[in-house]
Amino acid sequence: MAGPPVYESTLPWDPERPDTTIITCVDGRWYHHFQEFAREYLKAGHRTDFVAVPGGIEPMTLFDLVPKDFNFFKRRLEALIESHGTSRIVAIAHQDCAWYKDRKIGPFTIDMRERQIKDLRQSAARLREMFRGVTVETYFARFSADEPKRVIFEQV
Ligand SMILES: [Zn+2]
């Protein structure tokens, strides 16, 4: 049995479904930048669906390598898009992503940005095949060169 309520949200409830799903990494340092980008640049409204896993879109590239990760992600995305009537998918990768960092191989410094952009493009192509009629956009978020750092988004 549940105890008494501990908190009541001050925000009004709006039952209308957002039309955009954003696929990102879970990194909390970047999350409010993603949300502002969605609101201000993508004009995706004040609420969007978020599918967030460490590394963002990466499971979509694992069709051959780790099919169970690919299938986990794909099944959930299919269910979401079908039940929510999603018309737009936006995938965002970010600089300094721990997931991509951890996958560095041996002593070699791999250009993770290049790898992440490749993953975004490959995933976008697959998503467009899977979800006909759904718009797919991909972006890379990175730091500006100046201090203090700002977050900049590029379409890739
Ligand atoms: Zn990350």
* Tens-digit pLDDT profile for residues 53-99: 999 999 999 988 999 999 999 999 999 999 999 999 999 999 999 99
Q: How far is the CA of 50 from the centre of ligand 1 (A)?
A: 14
Tens of pLDDT, residues 2-54: 899 999 999 999 999 999 999 999 999 999 999 999 999 999 988 899 999 99
**Residue 6 CB: number of other CB atoms within 10 A?**
6
Q: How confident is the model at residue 105 (pLDDT cuts 50, 70, 90)?
A: low
- Predicted local confidence at residue 104, as pLDDT: 58
Query: Which residues does 41 contact at the CB level (< 8 Å), separation at least 6?
Result: 153
What CA–CA distance (Å, rounded) separates 101 from 103?
A: 5
Pairing outcome for strands 88-94 and 135-143: parallel
Q: How far is the CA of 4 from the centre of ligand 1 (A)?
A: 37
Are 134 and 89 within 8 A, CB to CB? yes
Pairing outcome for strands 20-24 and 49-52: parallel
Q: How far is the CA of 45 from the centre of ligand 1 (A)?
A: 24
